Structure 1
Amino acid sequence: MVGIIIASHGKFADGILQSGSMIFGEQENVKAVTLMPSQGPDDLKANLEAAIASFDDQDEVLFLVDLWGGTPFNQVNNLFEAHKDKWAIVAGLNLPMLIEAYASRMSMDSAHEIAAHIIETAKEGVKARPESLQPKEAAKPVAQSNGSAGRPGSLEYVLARVDSRLLHGQVATAWTKTTNPTRIIVVSDAVAKDELRTKLIQQAAPSGVKAHVVPVDQMIKIAKDDKHFGGQRALLLFEDPQDALRAVEGGVPLKEINVGSMAHSTGKVQPNKVLAFDQDDIDTFKKLEKEGVEFDVRKVPADSKDNMDSILNKAQEELNKKK
């Protein structure tokens, strides 16, 4: 696997490394190297060399640096000269660039290949509102259909996820990269009635993916007559398990549901860091299980899967204690 070093002035590298882990999960062979005010170029060089030495594969290394021509770039460049046939440097570090680099390591074995690939994503990550501030030459359609609309076939469900936050960074980056949808569909009566939330979700869609918000009954109709969506790959998002159950009982053919996040509120218990349940939630998941649905419990693809039965049993025990 290509090793990645994030280098910056100050603690920027530490912060963006943490942000990347929150969105894409913890990563192996990634190090943050910082230049602090009390340090000089030689200190930075020594820290860079130590970071490289910690990698499993020191032949393929990608450096993501904050500023072209700054001290971190210059020290990286000094080391790079002896390895430029394999190593690569990309300056102008931002979070979309880092996330794309993480995703690219799953299919690309060369630092050069990843470096060339992530530059466009880094550029696309720079956007402004109001849209009139966006340079015309940089403006691109928010969504494209990959030219597959209208082809014969049926809608393919690449992921169904219960997540109280709906379309956020972990979905728009990590899950989108691993499932490659052409459509993200938020299935919710409540959100469909909220014009502001609907607009924000549509704006949050990653480049090349179209986002929709539909009521549960509309999703059921689409599932029963999806001939107009031939060639489309759908990622479904449910705000709660109750909406997912309605969809499944209505005929949406889901065999597995990813359970990523359920917010805590009054009356709920929280058996782990990201999932909170009341009795209705527990009963709903059991009904989904009876419908033949399996559960993939994890926030991001890089996480290991948790056991849903164990989580539900723990939640039930905690609720019983509160009675």
Structure 2
Amino acid sequence: MVGIILASHGEFAKGILQSGSMIFGEQENVQAVTLMPSEGPDDLKAKMKDAIASFDNQDEVLILVDLWGGTPFNQANSLFEEHKDKWAIVAGMNLPMVIEAYSSRSSMESAQEIAAFILKSAKEGIKVKPEELEPADNGKSSQANAGVSNAGAPGSFEYVLARIDSRLLHGQIATAWSKDVLPTRIIVVSDAVAKDELRSKLITQAAPPGVKAHVVPVSQMIKLAKNDKQFGGQRALLLFENPQDVLRAVEGGVPLKTINIGSMAHAIGKVQPNKVLAFNQDDIDTFKKLKQAGLTFDVRKVPNDSKGNMDEILRKAQAELNKLK
């Protein structure tokens, strides 16, 4: 029997597991895996491994996730790489999809066969009242979005967002920010990631539909910024792991005016003045240099958040570091 993992941000996966059981009955070889606010990608990956280990057949695994490009997808995708001949991942999990997957297991023994089969039920399960709100041609919206991209038009890169995020390309980028700034290319600028073939591959696969993702070292981004005519009209969203890489890029000639600060992971030697940002002395000094270079700071996780005061955050971080000395 094909094993099924339901994976989500928060308790959604557990809720849909319970709903599926109410409608279709209790199921064997099905596990809900959740990413909670206090947990990171490694925690979720460990949960997925434990869930898979509990299945009778670990060769055939179907993973249903909430969001394409989110942390559950990214961690599932990292496991999928070693089993791509048999496993399957489907994003956009909904209840019709889950029930159809349960039903299909009685006649289908392949995870990939079930994945292909349940897509129709998942899409048909999306309805609206009143019916006239249903679009006459679902393809038209995609064509309209393609027109917004301005791909191939004369000119050079338009930098629609530059962001510091230690998680790089994840759900908030693939959904909220991409819909807000409409990039045609997402460029991860990192020497470390560019050297990691697996991470680079996973990042390019996590790009939202219609957007190309790339991973380049800082030096390559500088070259692109100085000779970007070949990318005429492309709307670029740049992702950095840390402020040091941003400073190198700016000093090298990448014409950034604003940097969005979304997430900086905690590590030994760092203080954490708020829930998502952690700093050491080098980080603080680097942000001061970025400010001197004329950059403004936009502290938001997602577009709808109110903007944080970066000067106040840095002052608090410096005070906490001083206490540790």
TM over 0.5: yes
Q: 2:16 — aligned with what?
A: 12
Other structure's SS at 1:11 match: helix
Other structure's SS at 2:254 match: coil
Q: 2:167 — aligned with what?
A: 165
Is the Cα–Cα contact under 8 Å of residues 151 and 184 in structure 2 kept in the other structure? no
Shift of 1:173: 0.6
Q: 1:211 — aligned with what?
A: 213
Other structure's SS at 2:222 match: helix
Matched positions, count: 217
Q: 2:279 — aligned with what?
A: 277
Is the Cα–Cα contact under 8 Å of residues 149 and 184 in structure 2 kept in the other structure? no
Shift of 1:66: 3.3
Other structure's SS at 2:187 match: strand
Q: 1:66 — aligned with what?
A: 95
Is the Cα–Cα contact under 8 Å of residues 155 and 233 in structure 2 kept in the other structure? yes
Q: 2:155 — aligned with what?
A: 153
After TM superposition, list the pairs within 5 Å mapping 1:29-48 onto structure 2.
none
Shift of 1:276: 0.2
Shift of 1:302: 1.2
Unaligned runs of 5+ in 2: 1-11, 20-33, 38-92, 100-120
After TM superposition, list the pairs within 5 Å mapping 1:25-104 onto structure 2.
66-67=95-96, 92=122
Is the Cα–Cα contact under 8 Å of residues 240 and 246 in structure 2 kept in the other structure? yes
1:135-158 alpha-carbon deviations (Å, 9 max, x no partner): xxxxxxxxx898855431111000
Unaligned runs of 5+ in 1: 1-7, 23-63, 71-90, 102-109, 125-143
Tell me if 1:240 matches 2:242. yes
1:212-264 alpha-carbon deviations (Å, 9 max, x no partner): 00110111111111111111000000010000010011111110000000000
TM-score (norm 1): 0.59
Distance (Å, rounded) in 2 between the aligned partners of 1:212 and 1:204:
11
| Amino acid aligned to 1:298 | R
Q: 2:179 — aligned with what?
A: 177
CA 1:111/1:248 → structure 2, altered by over 3 Å: closer, same or farther?
Answer: farther
Other structure's SS at 1:289 match: helix
After TM superposition, list the pairs within 5 Å mapping 1:100-119 onto structure 2.
116=135
Distance (Å, rounded) in 1 between the aligned partners of 2:179 and 2:188:
18
CA 1:228/1:114 → structure 2, altered by over 3 Å: closer, same or farther?
Answer: farther
Percentage of identical aligned residues: 67
CA 1:186/1:113 → structure 2, altered by over 3 Å: closer, same or farther?
Answer: farther
Other structure's SS at 2:233 match: coil
Shift of 1:315: 0.2
Distance (Å, rounded) in 2 between the aligned partners of 1:293 and 1:184:
21
Is the Cα–Cα contact under 8 Å of residues 146 and 208 in structure 1 kept in the other structure? no
Distance (Å, rounded) in 2 between the aligned partners of 1:230 and 1:212:
17
What CA RMSD, in Å, does the superposition of the two structures yield over aligned residues? 3.8
Distance (Å, rounded) in 2 between the aligned partners of 1:205 and 1:199:
11
| Amino acid aligned to 1:154 | S
Is the Cα–Cα contact under 8 Å of residues 161 and 238 in structure 2 kept in the other structure? yes
Q: 2:49 — aligned with what?
A: none
Is the Cα–Cα contact under 8 Å of residues 145 and 209 in structure 1 kept in the other structure? no
Distance (Å, rounded) in 2 between the aligned partners of 1:271 and 1:312:
8
CA 1:261/1:152 → structure 2, altered by over 3 Å: closer, same or farther?
Answer: same
Other structure's SS at 2:177 match: helix
| Amino acid aligned to 1:230 | G
Distance (Å, rounded) in 2 between the aligned partners of 1:290 and 1:174:
30
Distance (Å, rounded) in 1 between the aligned partners of 2:284 and 2:132:
46
| Amino acid aligned to 1:210 | K
Other structure's SS at 1:186 match: strand
Distance (Å, rounded) in 1 between the aligned partners of 2:201 and 2:147:
19
Shift of 1:111: 7.7
1:58-112 alpha-carbon deviations (Å, 9 max, x no partner): xxxxxx98349x9xxxxxxxxxxxxxxxxxxxx9499xx8xxx9xxxxxxxx986
Is the Cα–Cα contact under 8 Å of residues 164 and 262 in structure 2 kept in the other structure? yes
Distance (Å, rounded) in 2 between the aligned partners of 1:194 and 1:230:
29
1:173-223 alpha-carbon deviations (Å, 9 max, x no partner): 100000000000000111111100000000000000000001101111111
Distance (Å, rounded) in 1 between the aligned partners of 2:159 and 2:210:
17
Distance (Å, rounded) in 1 between the aligned partners of 2:176 and 2:282:
30
Shift of 1:267: 0.2
Other structure's SS at 1:301 match: coil
